[in-house]
Amino acid sequence: MVTVSTLKLDKRTYHHGDLRAALIDAGLAGLESTGPERISLRELARTVGVSPTAVYRHFPDKQALLAALGCEALRMLGEAQREASERAGGGIEGFGATGRAYVRFALSHPGLFRLAIAHGPAAVDLASEDDEASRLLVAYAAELTDGSPEAVRRLSLQAWSVAHGLAMLMLDGRLPPDDAIIDEVISERTLFPRPPGASP
Amino acid sequence: MVTVSTLKLDKRTYHHGDLRAALIDAGLAGLESTGPERISLRELARTVGVSPTAVYRHFPDKQALLAALGCEALRMLGEAQREASERAGGGIEGFGATGRAYVRFALSHPGLFRLAIAHGPAAVDLASEDDEASRLLVAYAAELTDGSPEAVRRLSLQAWSVAHGLAMLMLDGRLPPDDAIIDEVISERTLFPRPPGASP
DNA sequence: TCGGCTATGGTAACAGTGTCAACATTGAAA
DNA sequence: TTTCAATGTTGACACTGTTACCATAGCCGA
């Protein structure tokens, strides 16, 4: 959260104070209850108590607003994953835990998750990303392989794909959002049967 | 394709002939060039040469229209996978081929793919689905495991998740839509190192 | 053959959206 | 204190999905 939620001053002030932060806060709140497609620029402005076009003083576009929300959502996702990783104590269990946290975050915050993925900054190289989620991923992949770039890359991509695919399939209703399925699919034991790095 | 594309009769006829099929055809054509959220009911009606509200004689909703398009798209996806499977000659290579075909279909028909997943019929149990894609998946999973329900289930879910995750990450710009990455991620050799069913 | 009924199409309108141009207000710097 | 850039507002435009109501046409029975 941005913790600037009480910035909606009373109406007597012509200027708002920090409209940008208020809009992002309202957007994050709205994303908790509906999907990204259904949040409206005008309604956001309404809840903040401002005219629709005032938004354009802070974001050139609706897309830009969504992108800002996406960045914040991505940060929250990474934070959830880091907590899960620390709780699991690192190692291969930590790796699995971050994957399961990825899916659980998607299920409990569908709007935020969708926006984090769909409207985040376009990624070029996974290794050079600067968000916490990506950092965690490649760090674990390096730890659990021989460290060669190819191995790190492959494990990162495969792990991310599994977690993301499961999350999206559940969000889109193609698979039931069942906790047991998460544990079944994202399992260090069955997914990567020979712990990488153990044997050459 | 539905192969009813020339049904847009000239304007002198008050009734259209087969408006429903024409709408679906136009929708599929539109999905080839843009995403599902950007196709407009009114524009679809316009390209077919009919008033906006005529659509409501054949679909109760825009959602219903999208659902119909999603079913058709899902059929096309399954067909692409079956072709790839047959070309690879079955077995574990066929399994990998269907996975790669899944991702390639997503990349070459993003709109169709998104709609096939997002607006298809809500799935309850993977084993009881009646679309070709699901059938292929569980058939391969049964062939490549000992056939126990748990093993079949797990392999199905993991394989689907990997393919779907990779496809979505590429479609959403989080990973470059690189053919080499597809081969790298969806590889029978690295993803399922011990061919299931070989050793107990 | 004819009359009516139903399937299918059209018109007008409503509320809502994102966005632009032009105008208004404010706080702070010169 | 004056001016100016930052910020907010009003009004409008084109577009959307949807509804209520009206129009046409082709088929079915008398």
Grouped pLDDT means (10 residues each) for chain B, 200 residues? 38 73 97 96 97 97 96 96 98 97 98 92 79 95 95 95 98 95 92 51
Query: Cα A5 from chain centroid?
Result: 21
Are the beta carbons of B158 and A162 separated by less than 8 Å? yes
Mean pLDDT value of segment A147-161: 95
CB crowding A1-32: b at 16 or more within 10 Å, else e: eeeeeebbeeeeeeebebbbbbbbbbbbebbe
Q: What is the mean pLDDT of chain A?
A: 89
Q: Which two tokens stand for residue B96?
A: 């990998």
Are the beta carbons of B153 and A184 separated by less than 8 Å? yes
Q: Is-contact A157 B162, C-beta < 8 A?
A: no
- Please state the φ and ψ torsions of residue A196, each to the nearest 5 degrees: -60, 135
> pLDDT tens-digit profile of A167-183?
999 999 999 999 999 99
Q: How high is the pLDDT of residue A16?
A: 75
Coil, strand, or helix at residue A39?
coil
Quick check: A153 pLDDT over 70?
Answer: yes
Q: How high is the pLDDT of residue B134?
A: 95
> pLDDT tens-digit profile of B56-82?
999 999 999 999 999 999 999 999 999
Domains of chain A, by residue range, sit at 5-58, 72-191
Q: How high is the pLDDT of residue B147?
A: 93
Measured CA to CA, the distance from residue A120 to residue B174 in angstroms comes to 8
**Cβ of A87 < 7 Å from strand D?**
no
Nearest alpha-carbon partner for B99 in B118, B116, B80: B80
Specify the CATH number of the domain B71-191. Answer: 1.10.357.10
pLDDT band at A131 (very low <50, low <70, confident <90, very high): very high
Are the beta carbons of B123 and A174 separated by less than 8 Å? yes
The contact set of A with B (CB < 8 A) is 37, 117-118, 120, 122-124, 126, 153-154, 157-158, 160-169, 172-176, 181, 184-185, 190-191, 193-194
Q: How high is the pLDDT of residue B86?
A: 98
Quick check: A8 pLDDT over 50?
Answer: no
Mean pLDDT value of segment A70-85: 97
Q: How high is the pLDDT of residue A199?
A: 42
Q: Which CATH number fits domain A5-58: 1.10.3470, 3.10.100, 1.10.10, 2.60.40?
A: 1.10.10
Q: Which residue has the higher pLDDT, B11 or A51?
A: A51
Which class is domain A72-191? mainly alpha
Q: Which residue in chain A has the smallest CA separation from B183?
A: A154
